[in-house]
Amino acid sequence: MDQPAQHDQHDQHDQSGQHGQHGQPEERPAGPSLPRPLLAVIIGLPVLLAVGVAAMGLVLGNGSSAEQDNPAATGPVALGPVPAPAAESAECTALLNGLPQQLVSNGVAQPRRELATPAPAGAMAWGTTQQGPVILRCGLDRPTELTPTSGLREVSGVRWLVVEGADAATWYVVDRPVYVALTVPNDAGTGPLQDVSEAVRTTLPAVGVRTSG
């Protein structure tokens, strides 16, 4: 009676061993698994890098952010029409030909800027991307602000009437055969005014200040 029981236990032991050897293989871990937070960081890092590169491209573009925010800073200067009956006079032609190729503003050279088409006669502009343009117009009507009691300023022998603005001041030459206006940004310093005054003095003869007519 005892031997069959032992035989049954021996058979069960053999079958379980054969199942472990010849049956479906047991699953074993390939190695230590990474914590889920660390795995998320590793997966997301390339995405963050790509987003950072794209954002930098939007800010920098092909030039500085200032140039992207203000494309007109590097293109032609657009000037609207204003009454300038003497813009094509011999006096204005002589002045335009005698103006310097660049003005000095706060120690920085401001080259001539191209004018957008159609460009008004008797006009010229200078400037860089860091500063608003300096604009000259020749042959204008007498400025309405010029009166017998107007306070005038003299620069290099040329008398000017200054009309202050929010971001720029317009200076009018009032003692030459034609009226000339020079609009200068408030942060440009006195260099542009001095350079243009020299050109006015050497190309246009002085006349009396006319406050009427």
- 180 or 67: whose pLDDT is higher? 180
What is the pTM for the complete model shown? 0.66
Report the C-alpha dihedral over residues 172, 163, 212, 81, rounded to 10 degrees: 70
Residue 116 has pLDDT above 80, yes or no: yes
Q: Mean pLDDT, to the nearest integer, of 175-200?
A: 97
Q: Mean pLDDT, to the nearest integer, of 123-139?
A: 93
User: How would you label 52-85 residue by residue, b for 16+ Cβ within 10 Å and e otherwise?
Assistant: eeeeeeeeeeeeeeeeeeeeebeeebebeeeebe
Q: Mean pLDDT, to the nearest integer, of 141-153?
A: 96
pLDDT tens by residue, 5-55: 444 444 444 444 444 444 444 444 445 554 554 444 444 444 433 433 333
Residue 111, token pair as written in the block: 């080259």
Domains of the chain: 2-60 (no CATH), 74-203 (3.40.1000)
Q: Mean pLDDT, to the nearest integer, of 184-209?
A: 96
- 67 or 103: whose pLDDT is higher? 103
Query: What pLDDT was estimated at residue 53?
Result: 33
Query: What pLDDT was estimated at residue 16?
Result: 42
Q: Mean pLDDT, to the nearest integer, of 145-159?
A: 97
Half-sphere exposure of 182 (CA within 13 A, CB side): 26
**Helices (DSSP H) in 23-77: which residue ranges?**
36-60, 65-69
Mean pLDDT value across the chain: 77
**Helices (DSSP H) in 70-189: which residue ranges?**
90-98
What percent of the chain has a predicted confidence (pLDDT) above 70?
65
- Closest by CA position to 193, among listed 145, 159, 143, 146: 159
Q: Using CA atoms, how far apart are residues 122 and 99, in angstroms rounded to an integer?
A: 12
105 contacts 192 by C-beta, under 8 angstroms: yes
Residue 61 has pLDDT above 70, yes or no: no
